[in-house]
Each structure stands twice: as structure tokens, then as C-alpha cells.
Amino acid sequence: MNAKNFYIVATAPNEPSLQVKISGPYLTQKAAQADLSAAIDEAMEIDPSAKDYKYTISHVESRQPGVIQHMAAHA
């Protein structure tokens, strides 16, 4: 896995500094975009308030999985 990957990031509507990688890593922005809708739906299943969050695709340095992948690995 690359050190710098694309992630789907959720940002709290009333606290822009609160950002959480919900899905990823993706090797390309196109792959993240293809998964965006499903990742948002899955986030809302976990937490209904997720509908209020702003979702973006970010290219960040990290080797950690997003929240959804982390939860799936430990289910």
C-alpha cells in the first residue's frame, strides 16, 4: 500500500476541524468516487447523524484503514 492514498472523509457540519476518514484507502480518486455513495449510506447505517456531515475525497498520507474497513475487519 502507498503511504499517500485517497480516502473518503466526513466533516462535522458545526465543527470543520472534526474530520474522520470513513472509507479507504483507495489508490485512485476515481475508485474513491465510485465508492462514495455506498460509503455514505453505510456511515448513515452506523450513525443516522452522518446525513448532516459533508463528504469529500482527500489525498492524504496514512496507512490506517477508514472507519468502515476497520469495523468490517473486526466484525
pLDDT in tens, 30-54: 999 999 999 999 999 988 999 999 9
pLDDT > 70 fraction of the chain, expressed in percent and rounded: 92
Q: Quote the pTM value.
A: 0.83
For residue 75, the number of C-alpha atoms closer than 13 Å in the C-beta half-sphere is 7
Across the range 13-25, mean pLDDT stands at: 92
Write down the domain spans for the chain: 4-68
Answer whether residue 28 shows pLDDT above 90. Answer: yes
Answer whether residue 1 shows pLDDT above 60. Answer: no
Burial of 3 (0-12, 13-18, 19+ CB in 10 A): exposed
